[in-house]
Structure 1
């Protein structure tokens, strides 16, 4: 009996590790379970203890046997007791296994939950630190220094020795210094009047503290990138949370990103106010939107303008920030006028005669170290006025008078290329171009007529006066053009301009001189009338259907007779072919060419005084001139 038990034990026990299900700790966050070795050691120890206990129980049973030698067979009662004892041992062993299983489950759950807790805490801490870093970076964008490298890019304001302060400069200085709060500003003026230079000069005076500059663009995506660069904001594109998603770093539109950037700006401004000491007034942040007119006047552009204006209203109302919009075109003011409550418009004009002379003398001394005579400076102002853009070009060239004439010729060519008249032979497919050119020429002729009427008035005592270009109200200009929609296009083309008072005038003094020269050419009025009539004919053909007998219009006539067979015979009389040939002999009306040497005639005429150059013919016949010296200078220029 004993040997049989030994044999069964040796056969069954090796199979128990195979039959027994192995429970392993699975940790999804760690590649290797660090408790595997400890668990295996405990399991082997328990197995050895159980084996030793069974052997000891068997030895004790053998020793306590009183019936002599061990019998190989047992009685039914002994077998029943052995089976009961075996069941009890098996039950106890199962409970031990189940307890070990529960312990391992709790152990694995604890490791998993602790790993998740560490991961969640790390993510939360990263999120808080990242947002704090974003606000810190935006705050650093308004520290003292060069905002977005604008001051270093525009070197023309480096030397204050040659800087001429404008009347608007003091107002801009107060805005940038934070003395004026509760409003936002729109700078309106022609291209090249020095608006952005004045803003940079004010920013330079405070060394870029609390200031940043954003350049506008027609594409909202590019404007979004420039705004992020100016505010030092990356739109969360470097956020590590995007690694756990399949989508890209940004799944939204440009307007939503611009809204997020301004939200962060508001948080930075509020943080600056809260961190300030009690009783200390915090200066508002200055955000300059340059070239606002580059935003397209369409649905997306209007949404962007509306968003920027809403932010300007809220930030200026709370005193947290002041926004300055810089625009060359009038349509931006029309869009902002509808929703504005705190908007203030600042208009920039050309320099006067005294400032122009000061600028020219300083620029010539800077470039060539040469003193510019007062007479030459006055002549340059008479030719091109006081536009800083033109003055910078003239002062940088060796021959300033020649450059002044070239500027006028360039403006004249630009106007004719954009709005040249096509005459009576205009094709019906280009009727839109004909309407555009006739509208521009009608407005141009009206301004020239107003200027000529002003020249016919008695002369004032002071001969050296500033240029005052003739202007019309916007509604009156639309009446003259017979179209209300083209004026914005002309403003974009820098032919006509509209100031903040809704007055329409020539874009510059060279452009006004080009108007006079074009209107003074022989055959201009006839060519304009022919183009207007041709446009009316094309519109009439589009609206009605007409039957026209050209032979009758050319002077011929028909005779209709009935013969004996009741047939009609129609004959033409009047020499239609001769009439056509005689009509074709007349040369078409052409405007005078001013290139290939013909422009020198205008150059000599320009050297006289502005009023004398373009005064009406009936006044010019009286011989009212300024002085004989100017006539002599015109003769010398014509000879050269």
Structure 2
């Protein structure tokens, strides 16, 4: 009876695991979506007392250009591929995903956030898939080995094997794939363990995309995951997400301002605030909550400048203990100074066109962020290994075309206030000279002579023309 009961329990448990995973993809409550939309409210219409008139850049719900593609992906209408959303932090990648999930009540979709610790990531994946990794099983009474002895990578592989069975059953019933989203994969460590986990996820993404049963979506703020995944990708499609343009920024800021129950200032105030912070949605959301948007935007610029100096501030008379840090800082400022020079040149050309009558001062769009090819940045910085650290620190952004830009308009303005200081060039050069001096001292070798008595003399002669060696050869001959 115990033997037969054990067989029946194992069969029931395996079926129950698949049923629980399928419940995770059913319409209704989703943990990630519920947290994302909790407390949100929407302003349905523009108040009548608005002073903007008929030119109000207002829509009931702001939609980015990429939202239509994200909707088709999340709704299971884009099979045969897997996707990576690539863009700087705060551009709205996760918001677009949650908006698409909300439209279908998260049916057929699950979201999991990445984490550097794979044990934590294992638990998050189990929560997203409603999978307990056999920790709720009672079969341990009849087996010798713990199922978790293989580590988190093996547990995740077991979860994917179960998900594959559920996905096959779901695709036969509905005719569309499940969607599994991994958010912020840049949080994986860029080491062997993290890259192996990315490879494990990508291998399943490739096979499931080929069969059309699961569409996996990755989102990343940094460039390095795309660089790693690109090596073995054959069905991967990249969706680049950038900051909003001036028109889109006005639409977003007006809508956020009304949602926060603030009155609408004159259009010039909105444009001046956007000129400082740019089209980054996270920055627009922050200034929309302030009583004085313009003052808050200037405060954000001061904070950004202070943060930038705390990360890569220059120390002219640095000690040799911080030589590596100052080498990184000085090379970073070489790149930022080039960005500032490009922005100054763009403004000069624009002013000349306005003076000549080619452009109207009333119909000017915001200048795009200056961009430099990746290979050219290596030449400017003289170090290729610093670009990844700058990208991870949200100082620069790298796109799929291998073009490098400042991370945001706000950061470009902050760097410009530093570069345009009177003594900046001299300070930067003095730091580079100091680094060269310390490196020269590190290359210096000290000769020690032993067993010398008082009055002994050591003669040292330096021959740069190799004449002593020739004389010694003649004497030997």
For 2:95 and 2:396, the matched residues in 1 are separated by: 23
Q: CA deviation at 1:467?
A: 3.4
The 8 Å contact of residues 33 and 102 in structure 2, kept in 1 or not, is answered as no
Q: CA deviation at 1:245?
A: 5.2
* Secondary structure of residue in 1 paired with 2:353: coil
For 2:388 and 2:397, the matched residues in 1 are separated by: 9
Q: CA deviation at 1:190?
A: 0.8
Q: Which runs of 5+ in 2 are unaligned?
A: 45-59, 448-477
Q: CA deviation at 1:495?
A: 0.9
Describe the superposition over 1:586-637 as per-residue Cα deviations: whole angstroms up to 9, x where unpaired: xxxxxxxxxxxxxxxxxxxxxxxxxxxxxxxxxxxxxxxxxxxxxxxxxxxx
For 2:28 and 2:8, the matched residues in 1 are separated by: 32
Describe the superposition over 1:400-444 as per-residue Cα deviations: whole angstroms up to 9, x where unpaired: 001100111111111100101111x21112111111111111101
1:301 aligns with: 194
Describe the superposition over 1:505-533 as per-residue Cα deviations: whole angstroms up to 9, x where unpaired: 11111110011110111111111111111
Q: How does 1:147-186 map onto structure 2 within 5 Å?
A: 147-155=30-38, 159=42, 161=44, 163-186=61-84
For 1:160 and 1:316, the matched residues in 2 are separated by: 39
2:292 aligns with: 399
For 1:302 and 1:462, the matched residues in 2 are separated by: 51
2:235 to 326, 342, 355: 342
Q: How does 1:208-247 map onto structure 2 within 5 Å?
A: 208-244=106-142
Q: CA deviation at 1:246?
A: 6.8
Q: How does 1:586-605 map onto structure 2 within 5 Å?
A: none
Describe the superposition over 1:326-369 as per-residue Cα deviations: whole angstroms up to 9, x where unpaired: 10000011011001001111111111111211222222222234
Q: How does 1:324-363 map onto structure 2 within 5 Å?
A: 324-363=217-256
Cα distance change, pair 194–502 in 1 and its aligned pair in 2 (3 A): same
For 2:29 and 2:360, the matched residues in 1 are separated by: 46
Cα distance change, pair 462–206 in 1 and its aligned pair in 2 (3 A): farther
2:329 to 415, 421, 437: 437
The 8 Å contact of residues 22 and 166 in structure 2, kept in 1 or not, is answered as yes
Q: CA deviation at 1:218?
A: 0.5
1:100 aligns with: none
Cα distance change, pair 479–154 in 1 and its aligned pair in 2 (3 A): farther
1:419 aligns with: 312
Q: CA deviation at 1:182?
A: 0.4
Aligned residue pairs, count: 424
1:261 aligns with: 159
For 1:284 and 1:266, the matched residues in 2 are separated by: 11
Describe the superposition over 1:215-244 as per-residue Cα deviations: whole angstroms up to 9, x where unpaired: 110100000000011001111111111134
For 1:450 and 1:202, the matched residues in 2 are separated by: 38
Q: CA deviation at 1:475?
A: 1.1
For 2:403 and 2:294, the matched residues in 1 are separated by: 31
Q: CA deviation at 1:157?
A: 6.1
Describe the superposition over 1:271-321 as per-residue Cα deviations: whole angstroms up to 9, x where unpaired: 2244x3xxxx61110101011111110111011000011111111110001
Q: CA deviation at 1:247?
A: 5.8
Q: CA deviation at 1:454?
A: 1.5
Tell me if 1:141 matches 2:33.
Answer: no
1:518 aligns with: 418
For 1:498 and 1:160, the matched residues in 2 are separated by: 35
2:443 aligns with: 543
The 8 Å contact of residues 384 and 404 in structure 1, kept in 2 or not, is answered as yes
For 1:449 and 1:356, the matched residues in 2 are separated by: 25
2:381 to 481, 487, 491: 481
Tell me if 1:191 matches 2:89.
Answer: yes
Q: So what's the TM-score if we normalise by structure 1?
A: 0.64
The 8 Å contact of residues 246 and 365 in structure 2, kept in 1 or not, is answered as yes
The 8 Å contact of residues 181 and 316 in structure 1, kept in 2 or not, is answered as yes
The 8 Å contact of residues 82 and 209 in structure 2, kept in 1 or not, is answered as yes
Describe the superposition over 1:159-185 as per-residue Cα deviations: whole angstroms up to 9, x where unpaired: 385531000000011112222110000
Tell me if 1:204 matches 2:102.
Answer: yes
* Secondary structure of residue in 2 paired with 1:501: coil
CA RMSD across the alignment: 1.7
Tell me if 1:409 matches 2:302.
Answer: yes
The 8 Å contact of residues 385 and 467 in structure 1, kept in 2 or not, is answered as no
1:370 aligns with: 263
* Secondary structure of residue in 1 paired with 2:367: coil
Cα distance change, pair 311–157 in 1 and its aligned pair in 2 (3 A): farther
2:390 to 490, 496, 500: 490
For 1:248 and 1:146, the matched residues in 2 are separated by: 32
1:465 aligns with: 365
Structure whose alpha-carbon radius of gyration is higher: 1
For 1:210 and 1:262, the matched residues in 2 are separated by: 16
Q: So what's the TM-score if we normalise by structure 2?
A: 0.86
Q: Which runs of 5+ in 1 are unaligned?
A: 1-117, 548-640
2:211 aligns with: 318
The 8 Å contact of residues 409 and 514 in structure 1, kept in 2 or not, is answered as yes
Q: CA deviation at 1:152?
A: 3.6
Query: Structure 1 runs of 4+ off > 6 angstroms?
Result: none
Tell me if 1:529 matches 2:421.
Answer: no
The 8 Å contact of residues 293 and 328 in structure 1, kept in 2 or not, is answered as yes
The 8 Å contact of residues 80 and 212 in structure 2, kept in 1 or not, is answered as yes
For 1:346 and 1:153, the matched residues in 2 are separated by: 22
2:185 aligns with: 292
* Secondary structure of residue in 2 paired with 1:202: helix
Q: CA deviation at 1:546?
A: 8.4
Q: How does 1:31-110 map onto structure 2 within 5 Å?
A: none
1:42 aligns with: none
